[in-house]
Chains A and B, each alone.
Chain A
Amino acid sequence: MELIEKLPEINERINVKAKDQVYKFAASLELGSKETYDILTKYDVYPILPSHFRAYTVDPRSAQQTLELASKMEFIANIKQNPNLVSCSISEVIKRMGQCDAVGIPYRDEATGLCADYIFSAREFKKQVGPMLENKEALAPVDNTVSFTDYAVTDNDEKKKAIKDYANKLLEIFTLTSTEDKEAIMMAIDKMDVSELSEKEVLMSTFAETFKVGNMELLSSEIDNVLDANTLGRKAA
């Protein structure tokens, strides 16, 4: 009920043509929270249409996390245009971006910076990008000559084992949980000469290359978190 009181304020930004449609979506204002309203306002996210009121029903913690990541990953403009996207699964969005990047399917309009709608919907992604992905994957060269279990044991095995443990944690963070994702990153680590590189350098390079990560800042900060957590674990032990 707390948001009903905010209606005059909220209504100011509603498209003139839709102002008399507010009653259709009043349930979302009734279910919405003031805390989520404040978080969205902090990021300059406002409903433009009454159907956007639904954004206020998102759990505040989840809204905060989504908006933070959307800023880092540079797709907050999409959320400003359609605040309901604040309820999307960010990990799935990142995964879809990665899938597009991997096979070179564009999803961002360079002029506006907006991402295509299918990035935010599993159903639309499957419908619009699915066939393209199948074609591109079928055309991609497959290297059948080696598998990541075939590599010879080296002096750097211990270091690689530690890096693989960190990689597993990062895969979970980015919800890259399929066997293919795991095999791809393990193979990339196995192929790499890690003797002259730091753990972070190996992780940055293999993740960026394997999953075509565009936002290096986010990747770097997540790697730092994983490495820091491990250091803390060691200290605590």
Chain B
Amino acid sequence: MKFLEKYDFTQEDIEELIDSTPKKIMNGLKKSQDLVEANLGYLKDLGIKTYVDIFLNFPDMFFMDHSNFKEMLDKYEKDSLVEKLNANFRLIEFL
């Protein structure tokens, strides 16, 4: 999961991911690295500072098709979305 370091994941974050994520999901994340990176990068580039927490808590959401992932976020006004997700990352599940 070295690619996560590019997104400023610390070693501790990566260890947490490995410890709390089922192997099947971990293998999927590795196999679908390009898709995962596209979704993760989009979230980070929007200015959502809680993207590490979002990834650690909802890793399987990053298997979403990139256009659907974008669509899920783009339907909200950007500043308001960023503010809300920075305040409570768990809201992403309900967007």
Q: Which residues of A contact B (CB under 8 A)?
A: 17-18, 21, 23-25, 27-28, 31, 49-51, 53-54, 57-59, 84, 87-89, 92, 120-123, 126
| Additional A-B contact list (4), CB under 8 Å, known A49-B93, A51-B60, A126-B12 | A24-B72, A84-B20, A122-B12, A123-B15
Known: A25-B60, A27-B63, A87-B20. A54 touches B25 (CB 8 A): yes
Contact between chains at B19 and A57 (CB < 8 Å)? no
Question: How big is the B interface, by class?
Answer: 20 to 34
Contact between chains at A54 and B60 (CB < 8 Å)? yes
**In angstroms, how far is the closest chain B Cβ from the Cβ of A148?**
32
**In angstroms, how far is the closest chain B Cβ from the Cβ of A87?**
5
Q: List residues of chain A with CB within 8 A of the CB of B60.
A: 25, 27-28, 31, 51, 53-54, 57
Contact between chains at B22 and A121 (CB < 8 Å)? no
B61 at the interface (CB under 8 A from A): yes
Contact between chains at B13 and A123 (CB < 8 Å)? yes
Q: 23 A-B residue contacts at CB 8 Å?
A: A21-B94, A24-B58, A24-B64, A24-B72, A25-B60, A27-B60, A28-B25, A28-B60, A31-B60, A49-B93, A51-B60, A51-B61, A51-B93, A53-B60, A54-B21, A54-B25, A54-B60, A59-B23, A84-B20, A92-B19, A122-B12, A123-B12, A123-B56
Q: List residues of chain A with CB within 8 A of the CB of B21.
A: 54, 87
A88 to B18, CA, bound (A): 10
Contact between chains at B61 and A57 (CB < 8 Å)? no
**In angstroms, how far is the closest chain B Cβ from the Cβ of A22?**
11
Q: Which residues of B contact A (CB under 8 A)?
A: 12-13, 15-16, 19-25, 28, 56-61, 63-64, 68, 72, 93-95
Q: List residues of chain A with CB within 8 A of the CB of B12.
A: 122-123, 126
Q: List residues of chain B with CB within 8 A of the CB of A84.
A: 20
> Do most interface residues of chain A lie in helix, strand or loop, or is the interface mixed?
helix
Contact between chains at A121 and B16 (CB < 8 Å)? yes
**Max chain A Cβ within 10 angstroms of own Cβ: one of B19, B56, B60, B64:** B60
Contact between chains at A57 and B20 (CB < 8 Å)? no
Contact between chains at A122 and B24 (CB < 8 Å)? no
Contact between chains at A18 and B57 (CB < 8 Å)? no
Contact between chains at B93 and A24 (CB < 8 Å)? yes
